[in-house]
Amino acid sequence: MRNDDWPALAAIYEAGLATGQASFETTVPEWEAWSASHHQHCRLVAESGRGIVGWAALSPVSSRAVYAGVAEVSVYVAERERGVGGALLDAIIAASEQSGIWTLQSATFPENEASVRLQLSRGFRIVGRRERIGRHRGVWRDTVILERRSPLVG
């Protein structure tokens, strides 16, 4: 992932946000803000003949040293790009392990069943549900907390 990829990445991110099922976020930040909130390693893009069709990245869950090997995973895919989400998730898992990450986690809206299924198929497990954890577009929403512990790291 490069700085000049941001317009394409932001468009995919914005389309995901527009579904109302991808994130509590409602607007796409500027590149500098997004970049500052994510790890510098483990930033991946998926390309096809049409250009960038998806991306994956990790963000730290805490600034405390004890959580240095724990990261939140984000995967966004352009509409109608079958198989890209699984490929990106596989690649970000491998990259995270090479970077010493021992736990990946996500907070996913339970209504986003495709994302939950994809994560479960890649070794994530549901560790809990946070009920009414935040308001999204004026409605209280739950999240399902999933995690994947690396068998290689830690």
What pLDDT shows up at residue 50?
Answer: 84
| Four-residue CA torsion sign, 74, 78, 80, 86 | negative
80 has a pLDDT exceeding 90? no
Could you tell me the pTM of the whole model? 0.94
What pLDDT shows up at residue 131?
Answer: 98
- Distances, alpha carbon 32 to alpha carbons 1, 12, 23, 29, 38, in Å: 14, 17, 19, 8, 10
Average pLDDT over residues 141-147: 98
Contact 95, 139 (CB under 8 A): no
Instruction: Give the helix/strand (H/E) hosting 47.
Output: strand 43-48
